[in-house]
């Protein structure tokens, strides 16, 4: 159920492309002039744009296409734009990709390739409205949420994913660094080739070169056949080096050499083999501090750190806790063949007050356990097995005592407590009565241990 906008000044091409795309997409909008692109995008919710690069007769510079690409990306940065270009203009199309285009199709086109290309970008294109849980709940992809930090991160990823720059992802354990790496790969031009992940902390020193660069038969005792390494396996795709901060210092030079030369030499061979990879690295360590302590090579840090992105911990994006919990509820209810239970108000408040030192991974495991052991269609606070916290409310609760409260904090506590009693714990009604958001209410419930 997708909508595609096609812009080309050749009406014969528009007719042919419309007939082709209508076999796979719900709605195909065609424009013979780019001047109506912006107004059409305001009126229609397009999932992708197929954009010609030349519109004026006798002018084949491609600048018109690049101009309209820029105008589209200014207004809808995440909208995939596929460029439509003649074979002679492939260089311009590559420039267009550097400026934000998702891909390009060469005229005359192959029908299957055109359909597959458009479908690839519409299937991975996150919708601009609603909670950002749809894609994650359906395909276990990246959960973006609605916090400012994650919104900025998302914009950055959409800009750099389609390039081949090396990316370093940092963040605490459990924040989803590998999931973000796979998101970058899926959005890249290399998405049809494999992403090969290597846990650098799990690679033994003696097998480091064999694992990454491969070996030839007879290179060592157990080398009974030629074997390609991770670099070769990721050729034309993405190599993801997880926990790169765990790589011993004396092995870092060998990795740096391969990254600089884009060649590898199998153990037992003298023949360098070229590799074409896009490098993504991740760590929970402070690599700059490690450089200062001579534990990490500064030149290797510069090599892997062309673009640095950091995933904020869950405690700094509290507004994502409940949406994430609901997403995991749906996922594990389906896994274990149950109706999706709902979170009670007390359960939601309990989740909001946890420190989540293990971040999203800890929340995920907590929800899975609750789904397994709970009964009924509602999860209560007790369903999670968190340690009981003794609550000692201030002595003043009556309306008269509210007026006589010694501090603003006591007054605020009493107002919230009174509203919760009035609405029998319905936090939506409580928030509405107090004139605050549910998120603010959750924070105050946590603060006052209500």
Task: Quick: pLDDT tens for 56-111.
Answer: 654 455 578 888 998 998 888 889 999 888 755 667 777 788 788 888 888 888 88
The confidence band for 122, taking pLDDT boundaries of 50, 70 and 90, is confident
- C-alpha 1/C-alpha 46 separation (Å) is 11
Tell which wins on pLDDT, 392 or 319.
319
- Whose CA is closest to 325, among 350, 299, 305? 350
Q: How far is CA 435 from CA 43, 350, 402, 417, in A?
A: 34, 22, 18, 15
More confident residue, 445 or 309: 309
Q: What is the pLDDT of residue 416?
A: 83
Domain 315-384: top CATH class: mainly alpha
- Rounded Cα distance between 206 and 229, Å, is 14
C-alpha angle 278/282/283, rounded to 5°? 160
- Residue 233 near residue 194, CB atoms below 8 Å: yes
Distances (CA, A) of 171 to 105, 358, 395: 37, 11, 43
Residue 440: pLDDT above 50?
yes
Q: In the chain, which segments carry CATH 3.40.50.300?
A: 137-310
Helices 177-187 and 148-160, axial angle in degrees (round to 10): 40
Write down the pTM of the prediction. 0.58
Mean pLDDT within 370-375: 86
* Strand, helix or coil for residue 28: strand
Among the ranges 146-150, 227-231, 306-310, which has the highest mean pLDDT value? Answer: 306-310
Name the β-bridge partners of 379. Answer: 343
DSSP letter string, 395-435: S--SHHHHHT-SSHHHHHHHHHHHHHHHTTT-HHHHHHHHT
Q: In 9-76, which ranges are continuous DSSP H helix?
A: 11-21, 37-43, 63-75
The pLDDT value recorded for residue 163 is 86
Q: Give me the CATH topology for the region 137-310.
A: Rossmann fold (3.40.50)
Highest mean pLDDT among 97-101, 122-126, 130-134: 97-101
Percentage of the chain exceeding pLDDT 70: 86
Please, what CATH class does the domain formed by 399-448 belong to?
mainly alpha
Pairing outcome for strands 272-274 and 263-265: antiparallel
State how far the Cα of 111 lies from the Cα of 7, in Å rounded to an integer: 17
Specify the pLDDT at position 98. Answer: 77
**Does pLDDT of 116 surpass 50?**
yes
Rounded to whole angstroms, the Cα distance separating 278 from 188 reads 10
Q: What are phi and psi of 427, to 5 degrees?
A: -70, -25
Q: How far is CA 139 from the centre of its chain?
A: 12
Provide CATH 1.10.8.60 ranges for the chain: 315-384
Least confident of 121-135, 208-222, 247-261, 410-424: 121-135
pLDDT number for residue 247: 92
Please state the rounded mean pLDDT for residues 305-327.
91
- Contacts for 335-344 with beta carbons within 8 Å, 24 or more apart? 336/371, 336/372, 338/371, 339/377, 341/371, 341/374, 341/376, 341/377, 341/378, 341/379, 342/377, 342/378, 342/379, 343/378, 343/379, 344/378, 344/379, 344/380, 344/381
Q: Which tops the pLDDT comparison, 147 or 313?
A: 313
Confidence of residue 399 (pLDDT cuts 50, 70, 90): very low
Indicate the pLDDT class of residue 256, thresholds 50, 70 and 90.
Answer: very high
pLDDT(231) > 90: yes
- Report the relative pairing of strands 195-199 and 103-107 from DSSP bridges: unpaired
Look up residue 192 and give its two tokens: 């049809």
Give the angle 163-169-172 at the CA atoms, nearest 5°.
Answer: 160
Q: State the Cα–Cα distance between residues 74 and 316, nearest whole angstrom.
A: 29
Distance CA 170, CA 167 (A): 10
| C-alpha dist (Å) from residue 221 to 213, 215, 230 | 17, 12, 21
pLDDT at 13 over 80: yes
What residue ranges of the chain are covered by domains with CATH 3.40.50.2300? Answer: 3-123
Look at residue 132 and tell me whether its pLDDT is greater than 50.
no
CATH class of residue range 3-123: alpha beta
Confidence of residue 37 (pLDDT cuts 50, 70, 90): very high
User: pLDDT grade, residue 408 (50/70/90)?
Assistant: low
Q: Is 283 in a helix, a strand, or coil?
A: strand
Q: Mean pLDDT for the chain?
A: 82
Average pLDDT over residues 18-43: 90
Token pair 């909008």 is found at 29
Choose between 196 and 393: higher pLDDT.
Answer: 196
Band (pLDDT 50/70/90 cuts) for residue 125 is: very low
């Amino acid at each position: 159920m997708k909508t595609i906008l096609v812009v080309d000044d050749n009406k014969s091409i528009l007719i042919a492309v419309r007939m082709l795309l209508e076999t796979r997409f719900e709605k195909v909008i065609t424009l013979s002039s780019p001047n109506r692109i912006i107004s059409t995008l305001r009126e229609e919710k397009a999932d992708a744009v197929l954009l010609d690069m030349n519109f004026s007769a006798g002018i084949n510079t491609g600048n018109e296409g690049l101009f309209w690409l820029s105008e589209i990306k200014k207004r809808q940065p995440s909208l995939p734009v596929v460029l439509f270009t003649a074979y002679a203009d492939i260089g311009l199309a590559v420039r267009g990709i550097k400026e934000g285009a998702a891909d390009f199709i060469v005229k005359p086109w192959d029908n299957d390739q055109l359909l597959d290309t458009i479908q690839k970008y519409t299937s991975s294109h996150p919708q601009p409205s609603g909670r950002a849980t749809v894609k994650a709940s359906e395909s276990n992809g990246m959960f973006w949420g609605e916090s400012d930090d994650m919104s900025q991160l998302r914009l950055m990823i959409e800009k750099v994913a389609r390039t081949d720059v090396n990316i370093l992802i940092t963040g605490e354990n459990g924040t989803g660094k590998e999931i973000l790496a796979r998101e970058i790969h899926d959005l890249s031009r290399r998405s049809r080739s494999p992403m090969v992940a290597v846990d650098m902390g799990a690679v033994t020193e003696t097998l480091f070169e064999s694992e990454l660069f491969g070996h030839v038969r007879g290179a060592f005792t157990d080398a009974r056949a030629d074997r390609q390494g991770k670099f070769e396996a990721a050729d034309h795709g993405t190599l993801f080096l997880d926990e790169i901060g765990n790589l011993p210092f004396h092995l870092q030079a060998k990795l740096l050499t391969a990254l600089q030369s884009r060649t590898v030499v199998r153990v037992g061979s003298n023949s360098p083999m070229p590799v074409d990879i896009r490098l993504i690295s991740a760590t929970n360590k402070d690599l700059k501090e490690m450089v200062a302590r001579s534990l990490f090579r500064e030149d290797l840090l510069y090599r892997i750190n062309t673009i640095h992105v950091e995933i904020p911990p869950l405690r700094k994006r509290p507004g994502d806790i409940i949406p994430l919990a609901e997403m995991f509820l749906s996922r594990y209810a389906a896994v274990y063949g149950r109706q999706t239970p709902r979170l009670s108000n007390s359960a939601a408040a309990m989740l909001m007050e946890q420190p989540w030192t293990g971040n999203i991974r800890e929340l995920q495991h907590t929800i899975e356990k609750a789904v397994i052991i709970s009964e009924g269609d509602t999860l209560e606070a007790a369903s999670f097995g968190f340690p009981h916290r003794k609550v000692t409310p201030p002595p003043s609760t009556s309306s008269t005592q509210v007026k006589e409260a010694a501090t603003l904090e006591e007054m605020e506590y009493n107002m919230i407590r009174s509203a919760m009693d009035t609405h029998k714990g319905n936090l939506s009604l409580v928030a509405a009565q107090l004139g605050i958001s549910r998120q603010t209410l959750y924070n105050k419930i946590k603060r006052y241990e209500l």
